[in-house]
Each structure stands twice: as C-alpha cells, then as structure tokens.
Amino acid sequence: MNNIAILCSGGDVSGMNPALKHFVEYTKQNNLTPYFIYDGYEGLIDNKIQEASYKDVSGIITRGGTKIRSARSKRFKEKKYRQIAKDNLDAKGIDSLVILGGDGSFAGMDIFYKEHKIKFCGIPSTIDNDIYGTEYCLGVDTALNIIKTSIDAIRDTASSFGRAFIVETMGRECGYLALVSALTSGAELCLIPEKEVALKEYEDDFKTQIKNGRSYFLSIIAEGAKHSSSELKEWFEQSIGIESRVTVLGHVQRGGNPSIYDRLMAYKFINYAIDALIMGKDESVICYTNKGFVYKSIQEVVSQKYALDTKLLAYL
C-alpha cells in the first residue's frame, strides 16, 4: 500500500476539514502518498482524484464543511459506474480508501470492496449520530454547540416577550440532537421520534405553571418527531393559551467552526483509520465506544439500526 485516498460522502459535517488536514499529515508520516477524491463517490466516478499536499490543507482546520466537498451518489449504486470508479483508482495506483460518511455511504463501499477488493476504513461522520456501533459520529459536538447557542439566544427573546418557542433540530429519524439539546438547555418539552408523547398529558401541568408565574416555554422538537412543529405551535396557542413561534434551525446545524472536541476526534479517527489500513484490515469502521476506539466490521455496522441510549432516553 503506497497510495491512499479519502472522500466525504453524504451530509457534510464540521470536523471533516480537520480530518482532511490530519489525513495528509499522517499519511506522509507513514511514507504513504495521500490523494483527495472531490465530490464523494460522484467524483470517484468522474475521476476527480488528485494528489494532496500540505498546501491543500493549510488553514482549513478552522472551517466547517469539507474542502473536498461531499455528495450523495445514485450512480455509485450501479455496477457499471463502480467499474469506472475502480479503473480510475487503478490508474493512480490507489488500493485503499478512507470514507467519511454515514452508514449508507459505508454500505456502498462494502459492495465496492466485495466487487473490486478496494480496502477501506469508514469514519462515522453525521450530525444525526445515528450509526450503529459507535457512540460518537464526527460533527455532532459542533452541531450541538450551534443548537445550544441558538436556544440560548431564543430564550432571551422568549423570556422578554412571554412566548412559547418551538425549536426544530435536524436528525432525520433520530432524536439524539433534540434530546441532548433539551436536557442541556433546560427545555420544558422535547419531542423525538423514539418516544411518543400525548400532548394532553402536559396540559394541566403547563397551565398550572403559567398560573404560578411562568411566562415562557422552550420546547425542542426533532425533525422526525410524530407531531410537526406547526402542530406543536397550534397546541401551545389553542390548548395552553400562550402565543407561540417556531424556529427551524435547519442547515446552520451542519456548518460552523469545528469545536475542539470535533478537531480532536477528527485527529484520532484519522489515526485509527490509517493504522487499520496499514495493519491490513480490509473493510472496517472505526467506532468510538465506552471502551474507547474499536474496529467493527462493516456488516455489523450496516446490518443493524442505531437505537438511542436507553439511559439518556429515560431522562425525558
């Protein structure tokens, strides 16, 4: 193994740029030649593969997103395009890949490995934190900090104006961002896909709180929750009798200056990923667990569905 490439696939996260920087540093320390594949699997098919240098990564540690861009590729699901991708790698003598992405991206890579024996190591990267087998995915801490700053700001106006605010977080089918944000921001209500809530059960309590002097509410709702943000707004206004506003945080959660934790995790994930490939591990995902970093097989990671930590869920 001499030539090793990295690509980003799926939703970008803050922490990818620090990972790219350390990828160049750590490959060179190990006498390997680093390559960047631009635009994810799309770029692999379109031969957007370039040798990377220190110059390419200078100054990027502070930037969110990914310098080599990311994409979701439909074409990579087709065998004929995977063959083109393999030919492109062969032409540059690359036989090992590091993939920053989610489980969908890893599943695509697994097929590619089985067909063409291109070795890879996956680094879990998604703000949703919904990959089976790892307790942490790159980008989550930065996203949580952005949500925290937003909720803290919303609290200022909510308390000044006496309103109920509904803050909607991302996460697809996973309520991790919403749950952790609600617990750490002191929200009165949290709705996530993993736990069904009958709003009626909160009515008496919330009305009593208003009688006792509460003037505003903060509620956090995950985008995949059963109730929508507008339904929750309606409920606050009709059933609780308090004026209400919705803030959908949207893609601001995906960007921004990478937190210290994400910079450090990017560094460690990259070390473990490159070490795995040097050690001859062909198709693994580097997972962060309560026992530290462990390599898991791609089968284990993609064949099971992530479930929220039951202890965390119990705090709701």
CB of 149 to ligand F6P, least distance (A): 18
Q: Kindly tell me which of 49 and 265 has the beta carbon lying closer to ligand F6P.
A: 265
5 neighbors 89 (Cβ within 8 angstroms): yes
Q: Kindly tell me which of 70 and 88 has the beta carbon lying closer to ligand F6P.
A: 70
Angstrom CA distances, 16 to 12, 31, 185, 203, 267, stand at 7, 22, 27, 43, 10
Q: Kindly tell me which of 18 and 224 has the beta carbon lying closer to ligand F6P.
A: 224
CB of 171 to ligand F6P, least distance (A): 5
CB of 304 to ligand F6P, least distance (A): 18
What residues are paired with 294 via a beta bridge?
A: 287
Query: Which residues contact ligand F6P (rule: CB under 6 A)?
Result: 11, 126-128, 170-172, 223, 254
Structure tokens given for 175: 């309520």
Q: Kindly tell me which of 72 and 245 has the beta carbon lying closer to ligand F6P.
A: 72
Q: Kindly tell me which of 96 and 105 has the beta carbon lying closer to ligand F6P.
A: 105
Measured distance CA(120)–CA(95) in Å, rounded? 9
Q: What is the largest CA-CA distance in the chain?
A: 73
Quote the radius of gyration of the chain (alpha carbons, Å). Answer: 22
The catalytic position among 110, 128, 141, 262 is 128
Tell me, yes or no, if 128 is annotated catalytic.
Answer: yes
Measured distance CA(199)–CA(191) in Å, rounded? 10
Measured distance CA(6)–CA(51) in Å, rounded? 10
Q: Kindly tell me which of 32 and 147 has the beta carbon lying closer to ligand F6P.
A: 147
CB of 284 to ligand F6P, least distance (A): 22
254 neighbors 11 (Cβ within 8 angstroms): yes
CB of 198 to ligand F6P, least distance (A): 25
CB of 203 to ligand F6P, least distance (A): 30
Question: What residues are annotated to the active site?
Answer: 128
